[in-house]
Amino acid sequence: MIHKVSQPSKIHFSHLLAIGECVNLIFNEKYLADRALEYVLKEDKRRGTKDRAFIAEHVYTLVRHWRLLRHCAQLPHQDTQAHFSDGEIWRTMAVLLNWEGYSVQQFRETAEAAHYPLPTESDLEAMPLALRYSLPDWLFEYLKTELSIEQLKNELWAQTQQAPLFVRANTLKTTALELKKYFTELNIPCSLVGESYPDALRIHSRTNIMATGAFKNGFFEVQDLSSQTVAPLLSPQPHERVLDACAGAGGKTLHLAAIMQNTGKIIALDTESKRLKELERRMLRGGIENVEIRTIDSSKTIKRLEGSMDAVLLDVPCSGLGVLRRNPDAKWRLTPNRIQDLKNTQSQILRDLHKTLKPHGRLLYATCSILPSENAIQVKTFLDQNPQFELVAESQLFTQADSGDGFYKALLQKI
């Protein structure tokens, strides 16, 4: 279940300090995992690419398998709202390193973990699923109410695997084939994904592709395979007016713009201006010229758009239960009340934003969740309450270990 290193390279105490500091920030200070890593790695800019990758990979692996590793470290199961001591963090980290094949006896803080017995495959098989796949008990029980046990087992196993890396070629500047040639020349192994994903490439190494000239010049964006199916389903046409109502940092906004060949107009909305600033930077890098950015600062922002849009994308806030392998810290932050609040927000967004469509306009509802209550049930409720809409297409994707994330999308049309 946890990747084991066959020939471990040398580990430095500075690595362990950085990993431990990140885990402390995530669990005790409630940092998002990527923010914790960014903060810690900035403290020592002398670290090389391999050191940074080692630290990042082990932070995410620790968070992903936190409950199982604590169990192996002979520590009691605790609610993640509890405070974890430095000793507990070091002990849990040491078990992971021992599992991977690193020598943990060389450091006083980790030496004890060498004597903890590691579970065999049969031990893992016998464990309760919530422990084996490191889920809070309440979340496992919650998932059981909405998914079959077979769906749940497959999903939980896939969520413990390292997520593959996909990029989307920016067709305003290049093609997937040209991008493949570029990476090949840099000795970065990659492959075209296939006809269903014409702009997608899979990167087969953990090289820092963000440091390449192709990234700095906007020739590609990192985007999961499932996410790359969203904009094409909405099928925005050149010269249409399109609304991306929950744009965030704009991954799907940029895809819409490329499909529209920089024509027409896309209005990108979000409540967080900081995320929209990131979209501005990405637009500049990618040569995007047909997007207007607006921060939602009052209900008037949406009201001014009523009846004016040919197509609307609602990539709504959700539990993120389809992307736990990329954001494993999310499962430790979620609560039942938080999920219910998100469902209420989703319903409200559907109620408010469908009014922005023209007659015969298209609405695409999307989440990165695997819960029917956030997905198909939300859409059915909306259709029952709004008979002027019909369902055109619907798809629920579950996490695929060697492919895309868990994702849901439903295309509706205003009759």
Active-site residue set: 368
d(CA 14, CA 181): 38
Task: Say if CB 72 and CB 116 are below 8 A apart.
Answer: yes
Q: Give Cβ neighbours of residue 20 (< 8 Å, ≥ 6 apart).
A: 86, 89, 90, 93
* Residue at token pair 């991954």: 251
Phi, psi at 360, each rounded to 5°: 70, 10
Number of H helices, E strands in the chain: 18, 11
Report the 10 Å Cβ neighbour count for 203.
Answer: 18
Please give the helix or strand (H or E) that residue 184 lies within, else none. helix 176-185
Name the DSSP class of 170. -
* Helix residue spans in 269-375 (DSSP H): 273-286, 300-303, 330-333, 336-353
Angle at 161 between CA 156 and CA 167, to 5 degrees: 120
CB atoms within 10 A of CB 85: 12
Alpha-carbon distance of 212 to 122, in angstroms, equals: 44
167: three-class secondary structure by DSSP: strand
**Alpha-carbon distance 398 to 143, whole Å?**
13
Three-state DSSP string of 211-235:
HCHHHHCCCEEECCCCHHHHHHHHC
| DSSP helix/strand/coil, 205 | coil
Q: How far apart are CA 255 and CA 17, in angstroms?
A: 40
The residues, ordered by sequence, that sit 6+ positions from 121 with a Cβ below 8 Å of its Cβ are none
